[in-house]
Structure 1
């Protein structure tokens, strides 16, 4: 089953899907970072939202 792109938040809020534009918009707004900074965090910490948040808070 594919994600419903009409939703504001991702269906699985524990993971960040960088391949989905609406999810990238959600996470960049939530964390207050650019797409590039979010990608850097995902590359460093993995796609777990909690791990990315912890990485960005450092």
Structure 2
């Protein structure tokens, strides 16, 4: 599936797909983080939005 610029939010609000730029933009705004930090969090804890939130709240660097 290509990156559709008309899509403004995540397809599934419980998971984060860092391979779709529109989702990266949405999640970085929602979680007040950078794309790099978002991808780091997904690598560390998986694609669960709640687990990524918890990771970003902690001191995991």
TM-score when normalising by structure 2 = 0.83
Partner of 1:30: 30
What is the number of equivalent residue pairs in this alignment? Answer: 57
Q: Deviations over 1:20-57 (max 9, x none)?
A: 00000000000111110001100111000000001001
Partner of 2:47: 47
Q: Runs in 1 of length 4+ with deviation above 2 angstroms? A: 2-5
RMSD: 1.6
Give the 3-state SS of the residue equivalent to 1:9 in structure 2. Answer: coil
- Unmatched tracts of structure 2, length 5 or more: none
Alignment CA distance shift 1:10-1:3 (3 Å): farther
- Unmatched tracts of structure 1, length 5 or more: none
Deviation at 1:4? Answer: 8.2
Partner of 1:16: 16
TM-score when normalising by structure 1 = 0.87
